[in-house]
Amino acid sequence: MSEPLLAVENLCVTFASEHGAHAAVSQVSFSLRAGEALGVVGESGSGKSLTMLSLLQLLPNGASAAATRAQLGERELLRLSRDQLNSVRGREIAIVFQDPLTALNPVLSIGRQITEVLRHHFNLEPAPARLRAVELLTRVGIPDPALRMNQYPHEFSGGMRQRVTIAMALAGAPKVLIADEPTTALDVTVQAQIVSLIADLLQQTGMGVIWVTHDLALLARIADRVLVMFAGRIMESATCEELFTRPQHPYTQSLLSTLREGRTATTGGEAPMVSHADPAPVGCPFAPRCAWVMDICRATVPVMTPAAHGGQVACWKVTR
Amino acid sequence: MSTGPMFDARALTVAFGRSRVLGLRAIDLTIATGETLGLVGESGSGKSTLARSLLRLNRASAGSIRFQGRDITRLQGTPLRALRRQLQMIFQDPFSSLNPRLSIGRAIAESLIIHGLARGSEIQERVAASLAMVGLPATLASRMPHEFSGGQRQRICIARALCCRPQFIACDEVLSALDVSLQGQMLDLLARLKHQLGLTYLFISHDLRVVQRISDRVAVMYLGRIVELAATAELYAHPAHPYTGALLAAIPTPDPLIERARRFVALPGELPSPARPPAGCAFHERCPKASARCRTELPPLADIAPGHKVACFHPN
């Protein structure tokens, strides 16, 4: 098997406050191969976005990341200097965010924003950079690209803006593309367009994509493998088909039954509110909402263990 | 209780701004007493405008709205205010729809005070009763909005809408800001309240899965018009309008085998600008079945089966 593009082991993100450190992401490990689409699903506050931001050193103030390994090719992502970061961000690993309107600068033309990336990474002169930018806009399906280059973000629809941010992400020809809820703000019809666009790009470029979403059903369409996150931890990982046909973790099962039957099967209550004042939780974070909770679940955090479906699961009920 | 429709809108048209851009174009719609009518369509299709117009939050520029048989299109002043007690709305964002400086008890009590429905200790009792209906203890009434999670805030907004005992609630994307596991709970809550209190809902969502679960009938909107209307099971099983078909096909199914087998083709293009609507059927530019007639002539919303209306010259 080929070396993974990206290998992350035991990634933790902690927030420091006057009440001490609080872990928002704990012991997250995963890898991504070239041409692979890895789906990451979780509710708000599950740590899925923080995990991704930490890889680009984009964490908010007060948060810090540590990992045994967060390796992209030869580089250790969490140990990059500022200069190194500038050559890695956008060039090796790029990100597309949920809200394209805040991701774009409202006072710069679209063309200026894309050529900026090209000039930074490839030292292109203005004319060839412009040519290349038009190519990129064409590739992401924007009609009249030469005309659109001179327009500003407010002149684009939501779906077209998201295509622009995808074009910007592609400008550096990255090895890894992180798509952080890129279709959440869009209509289903436009979501379907963006999904097929990214699937096509994946095939053409061979880059690896990490698709972060709260919508598990969407991953059935695009992901090769899926990580299920809850309260800052990975609960289950498996190939897409196995996860949907033989989910092992009670949380995954409840997500799927919500989607399929429209019922909340096991899960009363919301994801635990992350509060700095709370003591560090003991045991499995899903225990308060789990229908099969046992004594051990409230006492000890289950670790990721190989499961029957060939993936891994962190659950005492499954592993015992 | 009357057996007639709760709402009866005829040729309801709403224009915005000096250029009179049409947000709603000659909508004919009835909402039966006690039903839940789902309303779907892309952003900009006019879903919220329709809800707001029925509630008299937008001014109708043409057409009429009857509520329980009474024409309310031009109602003003005290009678309009009295009407507002009957008609409530819950919004998408439970963060911006609660005043951060009012305790939630005070926010809920506000409508009671405005409408003069309760006084003194009775206010507290009604607030406590509303909170209980949405599963929150009355002891929380003195807390401020920031102390609650998104799901709890949405419950508070529901309690506020219920407090003056309305007959009709427009739910505008009330689940969109919530996580999937919470959406199920909230749907159960809305269904239970409807049953207990005999409410009528207009349920707006861009999420067709959610609409399917709660609605008796579903209306599909496109560029300010209703293009299809049918009982929920009928609409999802036999979508007649190509747009409805495309919307349903765009929903991901939680099954990778189905998803991969069907070689999905995305609907091209986007909703046209309401300022420059296409001639004929507004959908013709994106429609795989469009003919010459569709480019010039507007298809009327007509019955194709009992209770199933569609505005298309080439229905499926």
- Confirm whether B265 is domain-assigned: yes
Inter-chain touch A188–B250, beta carbons under 8 Å: yes
- Confirm whether B217 is domain-assigned: yes
- Give the separation between CA A154 and CA A100, rounded to whole angstroms: 11
B138 pLDDT above the threshold of 50: yes
- Confirm whether B128 is domain-assigned: no
- Confirm whether B286 is domain-assigned: yes
Which chain B residues contact residue A255 at CB under 8 A?
180-181
What are the angstrom distances between the C-alpha of A185 and each of A58, A102, A153, B177, B222? 22, 12, 16, 11, 19
| B288 in contact with A, Cβ within 8 Å | no
User: What pLDDT is recorded for position A273?
Assistant: 45
Interface test with A, best of B215, B220, B255, B263 (most A CBs within 10 A): B255
- Confirm whether B148 is domain-assigned: no
Domain count, chain B: 1
- Give the separation between CA B108 and CA B160, rounded to whole angstroms: 4
User: What pLDDT is recorded for position A77?
Assistant: 96
Look up residue B206 and give its two tokens. 């861009």
User: What pLDDT is recorded for position B270?
Assistant: 84
Domain that holds residue B265: 5-86+166-310
CATH number at residue B170: 3.40.50.300
- Confirm whether B254 is domain-assigned: yes
CB A66 within 8 A of CB A77: no
Query: Which of A160, A214, A217 has its CB closest to that of B253?
Result: A217
For residue A10, name the pLDDT band (cuts at 50, 70, 90). very high
- Confirm whether B161 is domain-assigned: no
| B10 in contact with A, Cβ within 8 Å | no
Q: What is the DSSP string of B265-282?
A: -PPPS-PPPTTSPPSSST
ipTM, interface predicted TM-score of the complex: 0.79
pLDDT per residue over A112-140, tens digit each? 999 999 999 999 999 999 999 999 999 89
Query: Which of B206, B213, B258 has its CB closest to that of A187?
Result: B206
For residue A275, name the pLDDT band (cuts at 50, 70, 90). very low
Query: Which of B42, B187, B253 has its CB closest to that of A220?
Result: B253
Residue A272 CB burial class (10 angstroms; 0-12, 13-18, ≥19): middle
CB B116 within 8 A of CB B85: no
B198 pLDDT above the threshold of 90: yes
Which chain A residues contact residue B251 at CB under 8 A?
188, 217
- Give the separation between CA A316 and CA A300, rounded to whole angstroms: 9
Kindly state the average pLDDT of the residues A2-8.
90
A260 pLDDT above the threshold of 70: yes
Position A44, amino acid: S
- Confirm whether B25 is domain-assigned: yes
- Give the separation between CA B240 and CA A62, rounded to whole angstroms: 54
Kindly state the average pLDDT of the residues B283-301.
95
| Helices marked H in B104-197 | 104-114, 121-133, 150-162, 180-197
Closest CA to A25 of A267, A182, A229: A229
User: What pLDDT is recorded for position B285?
Assistant: 93
What are the angstrom distances between the C-alpha of B223 and each of B23, B25, B61, B63, B262? 8, 8, 17, 18, 29
Inter-chain touch A218–B252, beta carbons under 8 Å: yes
Query: Which of A256, A262, A268 has its CB closest to that of B213?
Result: A262
CB A232 within 8 A of CB A285: yes
Closest CA to B92 of B197, B196, B207: B207
DSSP B65: E
Burial A65-85 (b: 16+ CB within 10 A, else e): bebeebbbeeeebbebeeeee
User: What pLDDT is recorded for position B169?
Assistant: 98
Kindly state the average pLDDT of the residues A44-69.
94
Look up residue B211 and give its two tokens. 């609409």
Q: What is the CA radius of gyration of chain B?
A: 21
Inter-chain touch A267–B181, beta carbons under 8 Å: yes
